[in-house]
Amino acid sequence: MTDVRINPSILAADFANFERELGRIQTADAAHVDIMDNHFVPNLTFGQPMVARLQEVSPIPLDLHLMINNPDHWAPQFAEMGVFSVTFHLEAATAPATLARSVRERGARAGVALRPGTPFNQIEELLEHFDQLLIMTVEPGFGGQKFMPETMPKLRQAREWARKHESEIWLQVDGGVSQDTIGMAAEAGADTFVAGSAVFRGDPADQIAQLRTLAGQHAH
């Protein structure tokens, strides 16, 4: 059976108490950090100084999701901070395979993200260069949105590709992941799950355990 990874999104955490909030999710596999520049998406979140500080205090690895323009310039700089993983958007990158190599050379895992409207065939030829594929299950930009089941066929295509190529790529979903939707995403082939409000609105350790169990019941 596939390993199940739960990466809570700190977009749903208390921004004034990040160190405490990271401590509350230390049973998770990683903390998902959404970097938004108010250009690629209509929201502004964290920059490099904030990520550097989070990296110092977090008890779990940081899984960065760059929703920004010009990731070719910025992704390697974030990778140099010692984070676990850097995911950038295919739609924003000019040389995705080169950028993936650059991120890996700096010691981070390289991930590529697709917006809901971007078809799988746009990344298929390049996927061998990546450690993770993030299939957005909402339009990127804001937390708390409703899960889009219409993205599941794309996830199935990715899982089929991984099987065919005997790839160990991680398949991540982000957006509207909750106890109601995680089973659907796991059944379609996801193994790495970003959940925000579903984790932070209750007791995080309990929510993480429940999400992990539900995903495991549907995993391949």
The answer to whether residue 191 is catalytic is no
Q: Which of 34, 37, 63, 131 is catalytic?
A: 34
- Distance between CA 72 and CA 100 in Å, rounded? 9
Q: How far apart are the first and last CA of the chain?
A: 5
Q: Indicate the pairing of strand 5-8 with strand 31-36.
A: unpaired
Whether residue 214 contacts residue 36, with contact meaning beta carbons closer than 8 Å, is answered with: no
Q: Which of 29, 37, 63, 174 is catalytic?
A: 174
Whether residue 67 contacts residue 140, with contact meaning beta carbons closer than 8 Å, is answered with: yes
Q: Helix/strand/coil (H, E, C) string of 6-69?
A: EEEEHHHCCHHHHHHHHHHCCCCCCEEEEEEECCCCCCECCCHHHHHHHHHHCCCCEEEEEECC
**DSSP bridge partners of 136:** 174
The answer to whether residue 3 is catalytic is no
- Distance between CA 139 and CA 174 in Å, rounded? 10
- Distance between CA 185 and CA 196 in Å, rounded? 15
Map residue 112 onto helix, strand or coil: strand
Exposed/middle/buried for residue 49 (C-beta within 10 Å: 0-12, 13-18, 19+): exposed
Task: Name the residues annotated as catalytic.
Answer: 34, 174
